[in-house]
Amino acid sequence: MTNLTFKQFRYFEALARHGHFGRAAEACAISQPALSMQIKALEEELGAALFERDRRQIRLTSFGEEIARRAREIMRSLDELEGYARASRGGLVGRLRIGVIPTIAPYLLPGLIAELTRLYEGLDLHVRETLTPRLVQELNEGRLDMAIVALPVSEPSLVEASLFTEDFVLVRPRRDEGKPVPNREALKEMRLLLLEEGHCFRDQALSFCNRSPHAAQPRDLLDASSLSTLVQMVEAGLGVTLVPEMAVAVETRSASVSVARFRTPPPSRTIGMVWRRTSPLAQQLLQIADVVRASAAALRPSGAAA
């Protein structure tokens, strides 16, 4: 097997991950016929089918599943080799793949990217926004170098570095302006609007209200896919919600809502960075962590605790 190429394995892994030729081709920035040709060449070289194909879908064969596992290991090793090369050059240059959860990305990234670009001219940033479980998976598969998430992640293969603590605030209809801020017991009796399942911020909000994220939820809980939608639902009078402090300025600037702080101790979350324990970029990522802290501090209201 002298004709196997890294490019073929990269295309194969994308197709195995997406389960669709069109989406895999788009992810690899090539045409669908070119992707199909490379997959066919790989199957011919290996002497066995990697996928079962029909009109509706494709799926890995048992042989393909084993090759997919080994391909991920190969690509992770090559990514780490590239990382060692970058680390040996010193400083921060080359590609850096950053993952961020959706309740942080829209608020932190604009300032963070601008600052990283200013400080490190040779840095080629690639940003991925998705939920924590997917970020952890992609870190472990070598498709991300680091991620900014809510801690703890408690993944043995990853290093966690705490960056800052962020309070949650109460967002309620404008007509409630000036009313006493409910405590967690009173909040349990209100119609609480939350992000849909899968968001760690949902679990944190439920925890503050002494509601188990895994228990069946009452009908007065309404779900949304973004913080922006939650605030709009509050403006429409459908209930109240909790919003992380960094999102307040963006999400409430054009909404007719009231924002109130909870009494001490307020609900909060710890934001941190995670990366693989085997990453050769650990020292460079600690530098990135300092930049993230500074960018987050610039978003913090005057007088707010760090």
pLDDT for residue 303:
44
* Alpha-carbon separation of residue 120 from 114, 116, 206, 292 (angstroms): 10, 6, 40, 14
pLDDT for residue 88:
62
pLDDT tens digit string along 155-169? 999 999 999 999 999
3-state secondary structure of 7: helix
pLDDT for residue 131:
94
Global pTM value: 0.75
Task: Answer whether residue 192 shows pLDDT above 60.
Answer: yes
The pLDDT > 90 percentage for the chain reads: 44
**Residue 265, preceding peptide bond in cis (omega within 30° of 0):** yes
pLDDT mean over 164-177: 94
- pLDDT bin (cut points 50, 70, 90) of residue 300 is confident
128/214 Cα distance (integer angstroms): 27
Residue of 295 and 29 predicted with greater confidence: 295
pLDDT tens digit string along 101-112? 999 999 999 999
**All domains of the chain, ordered by start, with CATH?**
6-74 (1.10.10.10), 85-164+269-299 (3.40.190.10), 166-268 (3.40.190.10)
pLDDT for residue 85:
65
